[in-house]
């Protein structure tokens, strides 16, 4: 059985998986492979939804975890954490809108917003992993 403390590692794994799926989905649309693009992006949405649920369960039980390291790590950690958190809140409606526009066949508008959603979602997923490593593994 995994305990609540293990959820931090699960969450980082989900973030890393989302990053790979988003990157692969982007690669596929550049190859004009719409079905594979759709499959990767839908899978990334499912993984991100699982992440959000697990993240909420973890922090409901554990509260906030203090960063106690000093020096350059602190100077890197807090800007990363703040940009990660703000953009994570911003990207949620963007992902839903991007997916909704595709699901309703409005691909012109889909592409216009997706060009912002893609890098922001990627940044949030990758920095999620970095924040975890800096907080729990270094
Ligand atoms: C929220 C998740 C999604 C993201 C972040 C996303 C991202 C993108 C991006 C960045 C592009 C433009 C690529 C370029 O610069 O050339 C694009 C194009 C496209 N996406 Fe998505 N996508 C998502 C979901 C979907 C879904 C579910 C479908 C369903 C079919 C889809 C279908 C398409 C199609 C058909 C295009 C090409 C449109 C055209 O060139 O006219 N996307 N997507």
Q: For residue range 98-128, what is the model confidence (pLDDT) as tens digits? A: 999 999 999 999 999 999 999 999 999 999 9
Q: Which residues line ligand 1 (CB under 6 A)?
A: 26, 29, 34, 37-38, 41-42, 45, 95, 98-99, 102, 107, 110-111, 114-115, 117-118, 121
Measure the CA–CA gap between 111 and 89, rounded to whole angstroms: 21
Task: Write out the H or E segment, with its range, that includes residue 86.
Answer: helix 72-103
**pLDDT for position 105:** 97
Neighbours of 13 (CB within 10 A): 15
pLDDT at residue 96, rounded to an integer: 98
Query: For tokens 């059985």, what's the residue?
Result: 1
**pLDDT value at position 5?**
82
Look at residue 138 in the predicted model and tell me its pLDDT: 80
Among all chains, which residue has been given the structure tokens 């991100």? 48
The pLDDT assigned to 1 comes to: 77
Q: How many whole angstroms from 113 Cα to the centroid of ligand 1?
A: 9
- In the predicted model, residues of the chain with pLDDT beneath 70 are none
């Amino acid at each position: 059985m995994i305990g609540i403390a293990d959820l931090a590692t699960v969450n980082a794994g989900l973030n890393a998986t989302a990053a790979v799926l988003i990157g692969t989905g982007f690669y596929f649309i550049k190859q004009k492979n719409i079905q594979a693009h759709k499959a990767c992006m839908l899978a990334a949405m499912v993984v991100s939804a699982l992440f959000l649920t697990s993240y909420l369960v973890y922090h409901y039980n554990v509260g906030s975890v203090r960063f106690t390291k000093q020096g350059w790590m602190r100077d890197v950690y807090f800007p990363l954490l703040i940009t990660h958190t703000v953009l994570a809140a911003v990207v949620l409606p963007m992902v839903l809108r991007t997916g909704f526009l595709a699901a309703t066949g409005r691909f012109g508008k889909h592409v216009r917003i997706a060009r912002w959603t893609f890098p922001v979602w990627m940044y949030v997923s990758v920095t999620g992993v970095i924040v975890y490593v800096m907080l729990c593994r270094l």
